[in-house]
Amino acid sequence: MPTKYSLKINGQSFSVGADPETRLLWVLREQLDLTGTKYGCGEGQCGACTVLIDGRAQRSCMTPVSAVFSKSITTIEGLAKGDQLHPVQQAFLDEGAMQCAYCTSGMIMSAVSLLNNREKPSEAEILQFMQGNICRCGTYPRIVAAIRKASAAGRELVR
């Protein structure tokens, strides 16, 4: 029998039923229709499934739902405030930091997490932090430019 969990996602409460080991990614995508969070590898190697757990980037494909029910979960759908994009989203748009954009949700969530902890990360810190996210189209230089731009534009913390 699945266990009932109450999840706090993007500021709202959701009640879901799932086995404790079920990964958060599949709860988001299949039960809550939050499909902005992507599957890419299932082994925490590509970053496409990145969400924020209490403001920190975490791979939802590796995260059991039982580990996060008491925490604050933010997905790509919860980043903008109404029509107002988060500065990182805006910077990705301004820099054209995408091609197929399948990695974009995960890239943005990782970048928000980085800027949550470091207001002005150095180039080396950006590369180090983002190393776990794959963009197969190869838009890395633009993503770095977008993160620098967002960092310069001013902080908007997400917890």
Partner 1 sequence: MTRKAEFVVGLEPERYELHSPLSVIFESDRRDFFKFLGTGIFIACASSKTAAFQESGRRGGSEENLPREIDAWLHIGENGEITALTGKVEVGQNIRTSLSQAVAEELCVPIESVRLVMGDTQLVPFDMGTFGSRTTPVMNLQLRRVSAAARDELIGIAAKHWNADPGQLTATNGKIIDPKTNRSASYSELVRGKQMTQLLPAEDPLIPAAQWKIAGQAVSKVDGRDFVTGKHRYPSDCTLPNMLYGKVVRPISFGATLTSADTRAAEQMLGVTVVRDGDFLAVAAPTSALAEKAATAIKAEWKSQPQISNKELFEFLKKNPTPDEERNSGHETGNIEKAFTESAERLNSTFNIAYIAHAPLEPRAALAQWNDGQLTVWTGTQRPFGVRSELATAFHLPEEKVRVLMPDMGSGYGGKHTAETALEAARLARAAKRPVKVVWTREEEFTWAYFRPAGVIDVTSSVSPDGKINAWEFHNYNSGGAGIRTYYDIPNQRIQFHPVNSPLRQGSYRALAATANHFAREVHMDEIAASLKMDPLEFRLKNLKEERLRAVFEQGGKQFGWDKPRPANRGFGVGGGYEKLGYMATFAEVTLKPETRELRIERVLTAFDCGAIVNPDGLRNQLIGANVMGLGGAIFEAIEFENGRIVNNVFSKYRVPRFRDVPAGMDVLLIDRKDQPSVGAGEAPILGIAPAIANAIFALTQIPLHSLPMGPTLASRGYKLV
Q: Can you give the binding site for partner 1, defined by CB under 8 A? A: 19, 22, 26, 29-30, 33-43, 45-46, 48, 75-77, 79-80, 85, 89-90, 92-94, 96, 98-105, 108, 126-128, 130-144
Token representation of residue 19: 């086995």
Least Cβ distance, residue 29 to partner 1 (angstroms):
8
The DSSP H or E segment spanning 15 is strand 12-18
Least Cβ distance, residue 70 to partner 1 (angstroms):
22
Q: Are 93 and 84 in contact (CB under 8 A)?
A: no
116 vs 130 by CB, closer to partner 1? 130
CA distance 6 to 68: 10
Least Cβ distance, residue 42 to partner 1 (angstroms):
6
66: Cβ–Cβ under 8 A, 6 or more apart, which residues? 3, 5, 20, 21
33 vs 154 by CB, closer to partner 1? 33
23 vs 116 by CB, closer to partner 1? 23
CA distance 56 to 70: 15
Closest CA to 51 of 69, 72, 81: 72
Least Cβ distance, residue 10 to partner 1 (angstroms):
11
45 vs 66 by CB, closer to partner 1? 45
